[in-house]
Structure 1
Amino acid sequence: MEVAELKAIIEGLLFASGDEGITVKQLQKVLGISKETVDHLLEELKYEYERRDRGIMIMSSNEVLHLTTKPEHSDYYKKLLEVPQSSRMSQAALETLAIIAYRQPITKTEIEDIRGVKSDRPIQTLVTRSLIEEVGRKESVGKPILFGTSKEFLTYFGLTSLDELPPLPDTDEPEDINQEADLFFERFNDELE
């Protein structure tokens, strides 16, 4: 594999790892290359990100690597947070919300098992919009957070209780359940535009 392609993959892995970040050891395992090669590629990426025309950088904290924004652009990020966001939610957020609505209380790991992908960002989006909230801790190893829908969820979708959610089809196929729930939430999403 070429150096440029390896750097592109590392960049993608850094982005995909989100807030959790990724370690050099994890990069080694995923790419099947030596620690020295990973270190060299990371140094090249860091050097490229130092240019003025780049808006991101690689940060290392406790041996975990994160892709992050440059502090010198912080005024613009603050302005972004002040600008009202559109009321439309991403497909990932809608899927996650449907899973939580029908399976609550549920942990992030259980959501990810159903969706088949990491769900940190959709969960954060839903928490930020106050559509879901922490409703407790599961009595298992690590006591993971349990999520459930909030009162704002009911208001947002014009429901008086969770009993008004459309019934799920009688099937054991998670894909069918997710599709049915997605259709329900997409209908409301479209109406809010």
Structure 2
Amino acid sequence: MLQQDISKHIEALIFSSVQSISIQEINLALNSVLQEEYTETYILECIMMIEEKYKQDEFAIELVNLNNGYQFLTKKDFHETVNQLQLHRSKKKLSQAAMETLAIIAYRQPITKLEIEQIRGVNSDYSVQRLLEKELISMEGKAETPGRPILYRTSSLFMDYFGLNHLNQLPQLKDIAKDENAVGENIE
């Protein structure tokens, strides 16, 4: 099959995927349907062809490498327009408590609910449940402590939603701490 035809299959796979799709997942799907094995290098060449195609001004979307995979996203010039639609549609936003819980999980993962509650100082049952429902976090297993509590971590959807490839791309706490939140004098 011609590389251009393979690229169309790959383009369809990326377009239809809700989350970023890896080269390995693309290869599995191609192999299942086309009954042919493709190298990662070949698939990457096809992806680069697709990427170049969508760099043209006539398209409002672009192909982006996210979370060790590929996904179609709106180009930055159209973010405000799409954001307006999302604002109108999003009736169930995350509460402040859920955002705090998500931040704690992101920075301290894997973490138990008890540890989250110790940091926040309040019960976090509802927040953890909402984050699980929205698939922003997932259960990783059980801690090796008495009672074997469930461990939570951020999910692939979290990585896609926040446009991250790696957790080390999260802002460092020292970068977002404000001096006005400090207690006492700053002596250097």
TM above 0.5, one fold? no
TM-score interval, normalised by the smaller of the two chains: 0.3 to 0.5
Tell me the TM-score normalized by structure 1: 0.44
Tell me the TM-score normalized by structure 2: 0.45
